[in-house]
A and B are shown apart, each in its own frame.
Chain A
Amino acid sequence: MLLKASQLALGYAGVPLINSISFQIEPGEVLAVVGQNGAGKSTLVKTLLDVIPPLHGTLEWPEGKPQSIAYLGQRTEFDRRFPIRVRDLAAMGAWQRLGPFGWLKADDQEMVEAALQRTNIADIADEPLHVLSAGQLQRALFSRAIVQDAPLILLDEPFTAIDQTTESYLLGLIDDWAKQGRAIILVLHDLSTVLQHCTKALLLGNNEALFGLPHEVLSPSNLVEYGYLSEAQVGWIETMYTKREVANQKDMKLEGGAHV
């Protein structure tokens, strides 16, 4: 097990946003964090990063705390006018390994080039950041996360204001990370993405948290109870679940009952 959180209470300056979060994540898992605005999703991410201390509760790292945790934050906190090129932004992922004076070694440079290739932005590697589209910038930040080469990757709403093509491309990258045995914690709003790509889900809302398998945690009644959906919105999601079950049953028949 990579990380076990027990009875976490989160908030700023003693004012709790959430009372009791417990969850765990194994290498190779993708954990979705879902919740209404202000539910404490970003606060949870910053607590995992050690930027904000938890009010109560414990974070345990049974295999030892990783040397580096990759992080991709919301783009409102990012300065695109800084004079730096896409390639240097990707190389920033190696910064922690280099310290204040180290130069990029040959294998670091190869890693940066490979990351730019993987995110499909090698052709704009020498562009400054202010000319990039939202999707290109997000690809550049994903390449930085690749270069960080971390066992745990935290992504805070990575697909906000991103087009569908880029989103599905980057989701492929997340699936690859999981296959490589990295754990990913993903804050996002799109429930169908959660059901397709995540192995666990954590639902936050009304000062409480619920953890488990995505289709169990994100049931229509839970989503209403935790303030994520209104009664009126539940209809379409029920349809989505039914369709998914039908599709799963077909898959199971095709794969001879293999676990999905």
Chain B
Amino acid sequence: MFEWLDYAFMNRALLATSILSLSVAPVGAFLVLRRLSLAGEAMAHAIVPGIVIAFVVAGLSVYSMIVGGLIAGVSVALFSVLLANKTIIREDASLASMYLLALALGIFILSAAGSAVPLKSFLFGSILGIGDDTLMLIGATAIITLISFAFILRPLIVSTIDPVFYESQLRRPWIVGHLFMFLVVLNLLGAFKALGTLMAVGLMILPATAARYWVSTITSYLILTFAFALMSSWAGLIISFYVPKVPSGPAIVLVAGGLFILSLLFGPQGFRLTSQIRGSSKRSTDKNPETANAALINQKRTKAL
């Protein structure tokens, strides 16, 4: 029954996804709380051309991936903020335009340059063929993320609940938001290697949305998000071990999706929610275009459900 433990590649994959879960859980939780889930998805695709160009120019290595991915991720984030502030298009539309462009460009260059990396591992990741350097990347990402969160957790909470109050309390309030976006890109790189560009955000967002249905304090939220991410990783890997031809990335995300649906049905704040969510209709009159957008999207998604 436990024969999957006998394989070195399975052990490495289990170790890598366990560390990755620890790292992406707080990032995913705050992406959800800050209404940036879709922005996270867009960023996961936006880093692709940076990585591809780095592979073509500097060869296949984790380091070229980090440099290319960070440059692409940060510039797409800055550019979409610029577009949202300086032109009529709002942040969601500018992000969507940027990531479609970036994803197409990445796959175009990858195919044209005839890279040694198969397209499939770009799209779905290669968690079962994970090397020492990737394990190091994931480990370093986790250490940086957890140490950063120790410092920014409180400011992040305050700035998410009440942004103007937060700004009124600090001298350099923008640092925390920027550091958080940097952590998002960093974790996407780790997740990208394991799950591919299409599934990278899956391990961030789905455990976080699922956990939100059960809890109402931030500490329990972060812990449960991690637990769900870990469960998804392990169950997904074991399923892909037993079911032939199933890539592990989609299997992991599918388990996370299953947890989401179960939470939606049985969690006290899912469909069973008896207390009315107050003040939700106010959201669309939000003055901040960024949050107003996200709120509108959220409302539409809620209705679609």
- Residues on A lying within 8 angstroms of B by beta carbon are 46, 49-51, 68-69, 71-73, 75-85, 88-89, 92, 95-96, 98, 100-101, 128, 130-134, 137
Contact = CB atoms under 8 A, between A and B. Distances in A.
Contact of A100 (B154, B220, B278): B154
A130 B278 contact: yes
Contacts of B297: none
A131 B163 contact: no
Given A95-B154, A100-B150, A83 B162 contact: no
Nearest to A136: B278
B217 to A, nearest CB: 6
B165 A73 contact: yes
5 contacts: A68-B169, A78-B161, A81-B277, A82-B33, A84-B161
Contacts of A85: 216-217
B87 interface: no
A70 B113 CA distance: 59
Given A76-B287, A83-B221, A100-B153, A71 B277 contact: no
Interface residues of B, number: 36
Find the residue from B152, B157, B276, B279 having the highest chain A CB count within 10 A: B279
Contacts of B278: 80, 130-134
Given A128-B216, A131-B275, A95 B162 contact: no
Contact of A130 (B169, B277, B286): B277
Contacts of B215: 83
Find the residue from B163, B168, B282, B288 having the highest chain A CB count within 10 A: B168
Given A71-B164, A82-B218, A130-B279, 19 more contacts: A46-B164, A71-B168, A73-B162, A76-B282, A76-B285, A79-B160, A82-B33, A82-B157, A82-B161, A83-B33, A83-B218, A83-B221, A84-B161, A92-B165, A100-B151, A100-B152, A100-B153, A100-B155, A101-B150
B279 A80 contact: yes
Query: In terms of DSSP, what is the predominant structure of the interface of chain B?
Result: helix
A49 B285 CA distance: 24
Contact of B168 (A51, A75, A88): A51
A85 B151 CA distance: 22
Find the residue from B33, B285, B288 having the highest chain A CB count within 10 A: B33
A84 B29 CA distance: 14
B165 A83 contact: no
Nearest to B155: A100
Nearest to B287: A76
Find the residue from A68, A80, A82 having the highest chain B CB count within 10 A: A82
A92 B158 contact: yes
Contacts of B45: none
Contacts of A132: 278
Contacts of B164: 46, 49, 51, 71, 73, 77
A84 B161 CA distance: 9
A134 B282 CA distance: 11
B218 A75 contact: no
A95 B169 contact: yes
A51 B161 CA distance: 17
A7 to B, nearest CB: 23
A46 to B, nearest CB: 7
B193 interface: no
A180 B153 CA distance: 34
B175 to A, nearest CB: 12
Nearest to A132: B278
Find the residue from A71, A78, A83, A84 having the highest chain B CB count within 10 A: A83
B153 A83 contact: no
Contact of A77 (B33, B157, B276, B288): B288
